[in-house]
Structures are given as structure tokens and as C-alpha cells.
Amino acid sequence: MNTMGVIGSGAWGTTLALLLAKKGYATTLWEHHADRALETQRRRENTEFLPGIHFPLTLQVTSSLEQAVAGKTMILMVTPSQKMRENLRSLLPFLAPETLVVNASKGIELDTLKRMTEVLEEEIPNARARIATLSGPNLSSEVAQEKPTGAVVAALVPEVAIQIRTLLTTHYFRVYTSTDVPGVELGGALKNIIAIGAGIIDGLEFGENAKAAFITRGLAEISRLGIAAGANPLTFLGMAGIGDLVATCASPLSRNQQLGRRLARGEKLTEILQSTHSIAEGVTTTRAALQLAARYQVEMPIAELLGQIFFDELDPLKAVPELMLRDPKGELEGIMSAWVGGKG
Ligand SMILES: NC(=O)c1ccc[n+]([C@@H]2O[C@H](COP(=O)([O-])OP(=O)(O)OC[C@H]3O[C@@H](n4cnc5c(N)ncnc54)[C@H](O)[C@@H]3O)[C@@H](O)[C@H]2O)c1
Ligand SMILES: O=P(O)(O)OC[C@H](O)CO
């Protein structure tokens, strides 16, 4: 009998826990606030992040990491990415050696600049043969409503990815597999930067041409950095690349996109971040991506300007001519050299 643990009860963690529980797996969802765990367990609904969706009997909520982790077939890590390491350290005493561990968060650890599975590898003994990462165009409320969705799970060991694909697949959640862990993970993390920019473009009412060009150049920027960091270039044409970029940049459901629109209206970043419990990972990811770009000597003009908007209060309207009037260049410049020079 397969049993599941989900660590992190925000919108995505709750959605994944519901998916697994509705498949009939006994699933335990971990919430880090004890009183909120009790409240959610009592109400049988996550009223804050996923209102209106009733929990089946197979889904239990707890604030005990032991209950959420011990003896499970698979656990999914769905905390804010900057909290990944501390949560892993806390749950490690309860983690059985055979439990599969899947990252479902999209971010890069500040300071270390590690991807989430790199953090998993550092914290979990003998992790390589049992860890994986899940990504793709997965706006949580659509998945929770069982709307048809595609995703990708990447693992170093192909059989592990296949095993996890089997556990996650449903009639509304089609999962592909990959062995390109860096590509899948960087695609998912870096698209949040571009989604904030797309929100700014929407907020400034610059139109669809502008947004399409911006997404396209965003993909070029993600690909350049990803390839330099060891990703397979083709991954950025897949679920975790163009797939997630389209969903997140186009949808008003995206929290990163929403943040961009609020910035365009003149709201201050600190006020926006204080006004919500939801995570918009793109802001911290911009900081980390710029440091990675410096490490790999990759140009990221969009991320640089967004960094100036976030951290130096650059007026978004002033950023636009800077992008438009950069030195003209060939469309594939930079991508080709990264491809030839990268490990991908
Ligand atoms: N929401 C989506 O549609 C979606 C889809 C795919 C991936 N993701 C990714 O999943 C991750 C989690 O996002 P989400 O949407 O589930 O969360 P959310 O933004 O809906 O809520 C944030 C959650 O983080 C929890 N939290 C805060 N501090 C914590 C700590 N110290 N330890 C553990 N938990 C803590 C909060 O209690 C809350 O449950 C992010 O990396 C996000 O990018 C989200
Ligand atoms: O709401 P966002 O911006 O965190 O995006 C959610 C998912 O990552 C979309 O795939």
C-alpha cells in the first residue's frame, strides 16, 4: 500500500496532496503552523489557499513531521524554496532510506545558489538514487479543479522518474519524464522572473506584441543561463521551459504575474510582499539568477533590469527603452555560444 507525505500546505502542496489522496493513497499533508494544521484538518478544506475544495477521507493534515514522513512511499517537498533546507533538516530523522523524495518547489537557494535537488542531495544521505524534481505549467487552482494539465518529473535515475510518474499520473495530470534535472529545475525557477516582467507589461498596457517578444527573449535568457549551468537546451522547449513560461506569463492566476502588475501600478515591492502570505518566488530568484549569470558569464539583460526595478526602485517605464535600445544583435547570438560552450 503506497502512502504519501506532502511537506508544505500552500496552494501547490495542498493541490498535490489532494491529487494523491483522490488517487486513493493515504496522504498526510504537513502544515508548519500547529493551529492552522488543526483548523484545516477540522474544516477538511484549505480555506486560505484552496477554498471550496473538500478533502477526501484519505487526506489528513498534521503539524507533526514524523506523521508526515515516517514510513512513506514518497514525500513531496513543496515549501518556499528559501525554507527547503531547514525543513529537510527537521524531517531527516524520520525519513526512511527507501522513501522517494520529490522537489515540487521552484526556486534557487540564496547564498549557495543551489537548485532544490542540489539542496536535497546535500542534506539526504544516499539521495541520488531516490530524488527527483517536478515542474511544468501547473497553476495550482486549475489542477485542483481537475483541468487537463501536463508536467515533467526529472530524476538522475530514469527508473526513479518512471516510478514517480506512475504515482502522480491521473486522468487530468499527464506526467512526462526526463533525466535533465538541472534543465527542468532551472526552467521552473527562472520563468518566475520573466512572469513578473510579463505582469509589468500587462500593467503598463503595452500589448500582446510586446509581451510575446518579451517572453521569447525571456526564454533566450533562461536558455543561455541553463545551458551554461549544464542543462540540455531542448528541455527549454518542453513543459518546464516554454510550457511553464506560457502558462505563468499569460495567466492572471500567477502570483508572480500579479506582482508585476502591481509594480506597474506604482505599488512598492515591500508593500506587495507584506500584503500576502503567498510566495512569488521570482523576486529572490532574480537575485540568485544574477549571481549565477556572473558566475557563468552569461548576459541576462531582462533579469538585470528587473533586479533594478525590485531592489533599486527603477521606474518600470524607464526600464523599457533600455531594453528596446540595447545594441542590435543576431537572434541566436549568445544561445549558440552557450550551447557550444555549455555542458548541455
Ligand atoms: N501555487 C502554484 O500554482 C505552484 C505551482 C507549482 C509550483 N509552485 C511552487 O511551490 C512552492 C510552494 O508554493 P505554494 O504555492 O504551495 O505556496 P503558497 O504561496 O500558496 O503559500 C506559501 C506556503 O508556505 C508556507 N510556509 C511559510 N513559511 C514556511 C516555513 N518556514 N516552512 C514551511 N512552510 C512555510 C506557508 O504556510 C504557506 O503554506 C513555491 O516554490 C512555488 O513556486 C507553486
Ligand atoms: O503562481 P506562480 O507565479 O507561483 O506560478 C505557479 C506555477 O509555477 C505555474 O506553473
All structural domains of the chain, each given as residue ranges with its CATH number in brackets, are 3-179 (3.40.50.720), 182-341 (1.10.1040.10)
Residue nearest to atom 1 of ligand 2 (CA): 254
In whole angstroms, what is the distance from residue 31 CA to residue 299 CA? 39
Residue 102 to residues 7, 52, 154, 267: CA-CA distances in angstroms?
A: 10, 27, 9, 36
The whole-angstrom distance between residue 279's C-alpha and the CA centroid of its chain comes to 10
| Ligand found nearest the CA of 254 | 2
Ligand nearest the Cα of residue 138 is: 2
Our mutation pick for probing the ligand 1 site, out of 109, 279, 286, counting the most ligand atoms within 8 A of Cβ, is 279
Cα 319 to Cα 226: distance, rounded to the nearest angstrom: 24
Å from CA of 336 to ligand 1 middle = 35
- ipTM over 0.85? The verdict is yes
Element (H, E) at 134: strand 131-135
What DSSP string runs through 198-213? Answer: HHHHHHTT-HHHHHHH
Ligand positioned closest to the Cα atom of 83: 1
Query: In ligand 1, which atom is closest to the CA atom of 49?
Result: 20
Q: What is the pLDDT of residues 133-144, one digit of tens each?
A: 999 999 999 999
Cα separation, 328 vs 332, whole angstroms: 12
Distance of CA 329 to the CA centre of its chain: 31
Residues annotated in the binding site for substrate, as ranges?
106, 255-256
Decide if 243 contacts 150 (C-beta within 8 A).
yes
- By three-state DSSP, how is residue 27 classified? strand
State the catalytic residue, choosing from 72, 114, 191, 211: 191
Closest protein CA for atom 6 of ligand 2: 139
- Give the residue ranges of the chain where pLDDT is below 50: 343-344
Task: Tell me, rounded to whole angstroms, the distance of Cα 56 from its chain centroid.
Answer: 26
For residue 23, what pLDDT is reported?
Answer: 98
Tell me how far apart the alpha carbons of residues 150 and 47 are, in angstroms, rounded to a whole number. 26
Q: Whose CA is nearest to atom 7 of ligand 1?
A: 105
191 is catalytic: yes
CA 59 to chain centre: 23
Q: Residue 92: what pLDDT?
A: 98
- CA–CA separation, 279 and 282 (whole Å): 9
* Inter-helix orientation angle 181-203/207-228, to 10°: 160
Give the E-state strand segments of 50-141 in sequence order: 59-62, 74-77, 100-103, 131-135
Predicted local distance difference test score (pLDDT) of residue 343: 43
What pLDDT is attached to residue 342? 52
CA distance 98 to 72: 9
What does the angle CA 25 – CA 28 – CA 29 come to, to the nearest 5 degrees?
125
Question: What is the DSSP-derived secondary structure letter of residue 238?
Answer: S
Query: Which among 177, 211, 210 has a CA at the least distance from the CA of 195?
Result: 211
152 secondary structure, DSSP code: E
Q: Which run of H or of E encompasses 3? A: strand 3-7
Q: Whose CA is nearest to atom 4 of ligand 1?
A: 12
Q: Pairing relation of β-strands 100-103 and 173-178? A: unpaired
